[in-house]
Amino acid sequence: MAHWIFTLIMYAIGAAVLGIAVFPALCLVVFVWQQTAAWEIIPRLFALSVSGATGYFLFGFCLIFTVALLRLILRLDLKEGDYPLVSAAMARWMVVNALMLVVVTSFGDFILATPAAPLFFRLMGARVGKGVQINSGHCADFCLLELGDNSVIGGHATVIAHSVERGKLILKKVKIGKNVVVGLNAIVLPGAEIGEGAIIAAGAVVPKNTKIPPGTTYLGV
């Protein structure tokens, strides 16, 4: 029963966040519809279509900032440690990653490989250097991620700072140095530390707590 209650609470938070983000876009569409009341139907529908498409991008960026603000208000920063699956830390982890997923699934494809992706990571608590490129929607636990200057997260790469083992949630920082390339479909697991200038080959798996020396090419396990 408790699981259902928590799930419903999560859905309610999601509905509220999406509703807040949609509101400015809806206002734009309604405004355009009212201002074009005297137009012929075809140009009016075209104006409505353009305003709707513009509203989608307005929604996306409003969603990013709404989620980031909610993270600050609810103090959802994650901390390293081992936590029981039934605990306040587990609930915090679920909520913050659920908020992240709302953005990724609703708007994520439109911010990948743009300056908006590092901005979103920063707003969600990640330490992101200058010139970072992020081309993957498969990252999580932003508060525990460190990305050095000019590092690159390749397409569909997975970078996470959590695991669930023996009834516990384990959170540990992932540190990626400057000028690092994490290749296509690579997987970087909790506790990994990747030295400056290292290259993680496409499809490689960096196991938990692995330290990769600077300037090396890691081919995986």
- Digit-coded pLDDT (tens) for 175-203: 999 999 999 999 999 999 999 999 999 99
For 102, the enclosing helix (H) or strand (E) is: helix 88-107
Reply yes or no on whether the pLDDT at 8 is more than 70: yes
Average pLDDT over residues 148-160: 96
Q: Which residues pair with 171 in a beta bridge?
A: 81, 162
Q: Specify the pLDDT at position 221.
A: 63
As a whole number of Å, the CA-based R_g of the chain is 20
User: Can you list the domains of the chain with their CATH numbers?
Assistant: 114-221 (2.160.10.10)
| 191 in Cβ contact with 206 (< 8 Å) | no
- Digit-coded pLDDT (tens) for 84-124: 988 999 999 999 999 999 999 999 999 999 999 999 999 99
In the numeric block, which tokens belong to residue 87? 């605990």
Q: Specify the pLDDT at position 54.
A: 97
Average pLDDT over residues 39-52: 95
Any idea which residue has 């355009």 for tokens?
32
Q: Are strands 127-128 and 145-147 parallel, antiparallel or unpaired?
A: parallel
Separation of first and last alpha carbons in the chain: 42
Which pTM does this prediction carry?
0.92
